[in-house]
Structure 1
Amino acid sequence: MIMSLPEEDLTCPVCCDIFTDPVLLSCSHSFCRTCLKRCWDTGIRECPVCRKKASKSNPLSNLALKNVCEAVVEAKRNSVVVLEQQMNCSLHGEKLKLFCVVDKWPICVVCQTSKLHKSHECSPVEEAALDCKDELSLCLRSLQDKLEKLKRIHRTSADMFMYIKNQATETQRLIKSQFEQLHKVLYEEESTRLAAVKKEEQGKIARMKDKFKELSAEVSSIAETIAVIQTELKEDDMVLLKNFKDTHDRSKSLTLGSDDMSGVLIDVTEHLCNLKYRIWEKMLEHIDYSPVTLDPNTAHPCLILSDDLTSLHYSKQPGCCPDNPERFHMSAEVVGMTSLGSGSHRWVVDTGSNQDWLLGVASTSVPRNAEVSARPENGFWTLRFRDGEFMAMTSPPSLLTVSRTPKQVKVQLDYNKGMVSFLDPADDTLIYTFEQTFTETLLPYFYTQSSHPLRIMPEKVLVTMLRQ
């Protein structure tokens, strides 16, 4: 509390030093007793500061100020002693003139000859101080860089939070959209099959009604004939004989309709046999399979991906996306989401009117925050099309001659054989093949600076029945 007082408040205006035996005048100014006496010995009894006349009586001692000043002087004296102690060796009392580089501690000349430091490298404290300052400066810059990086991450954390929420909302919307499409197909198929049952029901009922009418007519006709015969049998013999031919012919002319009732029931088997499988098989006509799906978390901000993540194109207006480590920041690149570490893989890319693209594969460890050439030594095996020319991105790049410019390119990877091939899928004409022994997993790689899209072609799903 005492050391917190400004020292100028404890300084005599005459000697400009801390008060010694301070006295207080009626004007409230304080002075050292000896300083005030020296001023008054000139014959003028007035305040040396405000020139106010002082009384002839001796000034009163300022005991409170005296106690504070003595405490301050004592504290300064103690601090000097502590400082002197800090400058001396605590073991030998000698001045600390050396610095042990091994133990990183100041020592005296006696310590240097002791067993504890005899074999250690030592340097003068002046040189050691410069070296330590340089080392601490490097640490300071490193910590300042880390602090700035953390501050930058902290500043973008709110944006990252909102981006994650927007990602989740958009992903849910796309999932609902695709399920709505599937639901629509199912509802249409359900309606079609229910309508087929209804139609068959109406047809079978109509057939049964016609059959019922036919049977009713036959029953009525036979009943009338029976009644006629019964009447004739009651007539006289002559009348019976005269009417016999007509009655007999009438009874013989009656023929029964068909009594075949097969096929009149609903064909339940036709409607229910393997129903779920047949519906699923029908749905395959509306479903495509993409061998490669783009990873939006790796896409450069200027790349626009389609909702189904199978096509990309370049936009001069960068999108709003976070600065995450997986993202390509220097060039308009994106990779597929599935790592390829063994076996054979192939996909076809429709290049269309795009005149500036690179296709191929890249190692998972390729730098995302630095611009490097897409060449094998950097972990890229790619084919480039620019200014109407095909180039295999070897070191240096190799100009390729093709008989025609394909609108589609097939990328074919055989990881185990170490081969990346590019073909024209129209007739499987080989454009170029890289041969390399791969040491890490690969990812499908895409680059473009064209507004015309690159589109990964879908593949049809083939259903095969496994019979045991």
Structure 2
Amino acid sequence: MDSAVEMLQKVQTDLTCSICRSYFSEPVTLHCGHSFCRECLCSCWRPATLAFSCPECKQVPQIRAVPPVNERLAQLTDLVKKFSSQVLQSTKGQSQCALHGKVFKLFCEHDQKLLCVRCCETPEHEAHGISPVGEAAPKCRKQLQDMQRNLGKHFKEAENLLAQQNLVDWRRMIIEEFYKLHRLVKAQEFSCIERIRQEQRARQDTLTQNIQTLQKLKLELQEASYQPDLDLLQDAKQLLERSESELSQRANTAIPELREYPIPGLIEMLNRFRVDLTIDPRSASSYVRVSDDLKSVKATEDWEAPQHLEDSECHAVLAKPAFSSGRHYWEVDHPLHPSLVSAPHFQELSLIP
């Protein structure tokens, strides 16, 4: 009987659809020899599918159409279904308990285990829910069928998601988004350059006017030096006051600094990598004190500021989280010395395999 059951199991495997994992229903056979349920194959060969290939071996048939139902395979499947039912009925009740030699008639819900009448009398199963095999089997069969339906539902959803993924042109979408970003940055670039040009022209005009004023004052001072004493002393005060006033309004450099023109978007891009660090107060030495919010450190009275920064000792504190790879950005404060100011810090870590 065991050999018949093993042979039946092998035949059942051969008559099982590899897509739904159930007996064939209206089986169709492809040119490569693999068979599937007609409905299962149609679900794989939707119009959105680019390649009409065998779901198992991936070979592409010459004729892209669902084959007719394999009647002989359908008949064989029905015969095996009936035969397997008869085999199950014939073997029903023949399994016996190896400990007591009694036929299994009960089922333990707690241990999910078949029991004989003598097994139920043991203390091991005294508090467990016990039901007859005739009641437990239909219940278990219903659970399996429900699970099979749920798996089929999830299988369909996964297939639909896969089809949607194949339809989305991610490369084109990303290129379009970066194209928008490039246009935005280019427009900001032109705006920034135009602003610099206008301010540069204004500086040039101011410098030109300042040069003309200085030349005029220089000429007046030169002429005043040749005036008679009375005329010189009479006009000297006004001329000196004008000269002092002009010297106090010395022109700024005509070369602007880049920090006066922050490039838009850089802060937003850095914030994508911004992380929130928390300082560990246990790692601080007696020379530094960690704030209550664990976000900054300050020098204590025990720390002496060196005359030269290069002579300063290093007092470090640890912070978390830790990083093993990627790009991370944070800002740190250095209130330990007047010459140490707040500064952003950008760190790129590489994970070494």
TM-score by length of 1: 0.28
More strand by share: 1
More helix by share: 2
Structure scoring higher RCO (CA < 8 A, sep ≥ 6) equals 1
Structure showing greater Rg: 1
